[in-house]
Amino acid sequence: MFLQQLVNGVALGSVYALIALGYTMVYGIITLINFAHGEIFMAGAFVGLLLVATFKVNVFVAIIGAMVFCMLMGVVIELIAYRPLRKSSRLSALISAIGVSIFLSSLALMVFGADAKGFPDGAFPVKQIKVGSADISTLQLLIIGVSAALMMGLEFIVQKTKIGKAMRATSEDYNTSALMGINVNRVISFTFALGSALAAAGGVLVGVLFNAVSFNMGLMAGLKAFAAAVLGGIGSIPGAMLGGLLLGVSEVFGVAIGYSSYRDAIAFTILVLVLLVKPTGLLGQKITKKV
């Protein structure tokens, strides 16, 4: 029972973590809460669904396709909705982000209709594997495996590559990074591309897991992932991973011990409790002023 719920929680939490990473990376660099991030996740789910249903590709190819599509989408959104407002007040950029979010979910409603769409039968072969007392499905393994691989890939990029180091430098000190000859606009585009790709993968995985893709799926998932990012400490990459896992596991255990009608409230309750004790989040640091 315990092991079973733990696996369920980790699978759900991995997806929250994938989405939370996009919020935290973007915030880390331009101190903007990208409200449209949930809709990028939704778009990823639709692209994955279309690829599987129309082009009959397997789930892995669909994930890669959705990631590529959403990378471009994230870069374009930043270019037209945020970059022109870079020197304006924080509030203008935030309002622009909310606008993009509403625009994208309305667009999805127009194009795909209001009903949730399911993946075709056998899109991914689901088998149960017995481990001790728990039934672990191949679907959960897929989710945990893909998420873990993506997060390790991200960690490698951020720690070891030239552009990843430039991302860290830019999130520490924007102006000084420019003085190093770093093209900060390019770093920002790259950050949006990375975050959007992770959200897209999360979207396809969630679509397969719940067998439902709908125009408004980005809202709740986005809010919870945002809560996860804040819980872990907004701006901190390991924080987003930890926050996502914690929220996923608590949500599943909360439901298991009988609070299923409060399913969506659990994440926010935990968030409020942690912030009361540690306002910067679990792994967050004091937010330094960005000039």
Partner 1 sequence: MLKVENISVNYGAIKALQNVSFQINQGEIVALIGANGAGKTTILNTISNIVPSVAGKITYLDKEITKLQPHEIVKLGISQVPEGRRVFAKMSVLENLEMGAYTRSDNEVASDMEKIFQRFPRLNERKKQPAKTLSGGEQQMLAMGRALMSRPKLLLLDEPSMGLAPMLVEQIFQIIQEINASGTTILLVEQNANMALSIAHRAYVLETGEVVLQGDAKELASNPEVRKAYLGE
| Position 172 contacts partner 1 (CB under 8 A) | yes
By CB under 8 A, tell whether 169 contacts partner 1: yes
Binding track, positions 174-213, relative to partner 1; x by CB under 8 A: -xxxxxxxxxx-----------------------------
**Cβ-contact 232, 281 below 8 angstroms:** yes
* DSSP letter string, 217-284: HHHHHHHHHHHHHHHH-TT-HHHHHHHHHHHHHHHHHHHHTT-GGGHHHHHHHHHHHHHHH-TT-SS-
> Which of 168, 211, 256, 290 forms a contact with partner 1 (CB under 8 A)?
168
- The least distance separating partner 1 from the CB of residue 165, rounded to whole angstroms, comes to 6
Q: Which amino acid is at 11?
A: A
Which CB atom, from 96 or from 177, has the smaller least distance to partner 1? 177
169 or 219: whose CB is closer to partner 1?
A: 169
The CB-of-168 to partner 1 minimum distance in angstroms stands at 6
CA 89 to chain centre: 25
Closer to partner 1 by Cβ: residue 117 or 168: 168
Q: What is the dihedral of CA 216, 76, 196, 243, to 10 degrees?
A: -80
Nearest to 282 by CA among 232, 228, 224: 232
**Residue 256 contacts residue 17 (beta carbons within 8 Å):** no
* Nearest-approach distance from CB 134 to partner 1, in angstroms: 40
Q: Which of 166, 213, 249, 266 binds partner 1 (CB under 8 A)?
A: 166
The CB-of-180 to partner 1 minimum distance in angstroms stands at: 5
Amino acid at 62: A
C-alpha pair distances (Å), 57 with each of 49, 120, 125: 10, 11, 13
Report how many residues bind partner 1 under the rule CB under 8 A. 17
Within positions 35 to 54, which residues make up the interface with partner 1, using CB under 8 A? none
Q: Which residues bind partner 1 (CB under 8 A)?
A: 162, 165-166, 168-169, 172-173, 175-184
